[in-house]
Structure 1
Amino acid sequence: MRYMMLLRLDPAKAPSTGPSEELMTEMGKLLEEMTKAGVLLDTGGLQPAGEGSVIRQAGGKQTVLDGPFAEAKEVVGGYAIIQAKSLEEAAQWTSRFLAIHGDEWDIAAEIRQVEEPE
């Protein structure tokens, strides 16, 4: 089964310098391990929310809103799509993914199974 990890963080609580070199090295090791295990299908970080756009649809009409947006308490900062046998296994990998960030990051992950055609 495929699962998506949506990595959320509070921009006000993230280190202003971004990820440290040590964090990136440890993340690289974990991603390599996940790839070799056949777990990691795709991953990526996202540019700040203010550099994106929001497209809203209501009443059949669309409106495009370009950033910057009102400051959000939590934003999606990245994602990963993994292959796991169960939600519990996906949670174990996600826990390791988050643990690498240590005490300096206020980060959370939502794990959701990807809908698969029958």
Structure 2
Amino acid sequence: MRVVVFVKATEDSEAGIMPSNELGEAMGKFNEELVSAGIMLGGDGLKPSSKGKRIAFDGASRRVIDGPFAETRELVAGYWLWEVKDMDEAVEWVKRCPNPMPGPSEIEIRPVYELSDFADALTPDVIALHERTGEKLAERNGKED
């Protein structure tokens, strides 16, 4: 099962305050553990929302919204993509994580949809289209299924 693990933003992360060397080292060691255990597939920190944009969709209309965005507690400051056996394993790994922020913080875990989850909603042709795209992406990234 793949999960995305979101490090929620804080006022400090939204202000662009960089982590201390000690926190950087602790997070680096944790990432090493994740990679060594075969859990971590990817991940990065994100710049503050003031550097970002949102695109609002309404039918054929598109509207660009410049950051920063309100409600810091709803923003993401970083993420991991993990492969775990189940949600319980993901929770156990997050519990081992150093606090990713200098003060109080939250980490959210969300399961990733697998193509098989859409079997009843999509036609075989549409599933094949998505499978081809996944194969091309894996090939581009030098990975085999």
TM-score interval (norm. to shorter): 0.7 to 0.9
Asked whether 1:88 is paired with 2:88, we answer yes
Larger-gyration structure (1/2):
2
1:26 aligned residue = 26
- Which of the numbers 104, 111, 121 marks the counterpart of 1:106? 104
Overall identity of the aligned pairs, in %: 33
Gap runs ≥5 in structure 2: 117-145
* SS across alignment from 1:33: helix
1:54 aligned residue = 54
* SS across alignment from 2:114: coil
* Structure with the largest fraction of helix: 2
CA distance in 2, matches of 1:51, 1:15: 11
CA distance in 2, matches of 1:102, 1:114: 22
Deviations 1:37-83 (A, max 9, x none): 100100100010011001000133110112234x4332210000111
CA distance in 2, matches of 1:61, 1:14: 29
Following TM superposition, the consecutive aligned residue runs of length 4 or more in structure 1 with deviations greater than 6 angstroms are 13-16
Aligned length, in residue pairs: 115
Deviation at 1:110, TM superposition (A): 1.3
2:63 aligned residue = 63
Kindly report the root-mean-square deviation, in angstroms, between the aligned alpha carbons of the 2 structures.
Answer: 2.2
Deviation at 1:101, TM superposition (A): 2.1
CA distance in 1, matches of 2:15, 2:96: 20
CA distance in 2, matches of 1:60, 1:52: 22
* SS across alignment from 1:19: coil
* TM-score, normalisation: structure 2: 0.70
Instruction: Specify whether residues 68 and 17 from structure 1 end up closer, same or farther in structure 2 by C-alpha distance, changes over 3 A only.
Output: closer
Gap runs ≥5 in structure 1: none
CA distance in 2, matches of 1:49, 1:9: 9
User: Which amino acid in 1 is paired with 2:115?
Assistant: P
Instruction: Specify whether residues 15 and 60 from structure 1 end up closer, same or farther in structure 2 by C-alpha distance, changes over 3 A only.
Output: closer
Deviation at 1:105, TM superposition (A): 2.1
Deviation at 1:12, TM superposition (A): 5.0
* SS across alignment from 1:107: coil
Q: Is the 8 A contact 1:6 1:76 kept in 2?
A: yes
CA distance in 2, matches of 1:68, 1:8: 15
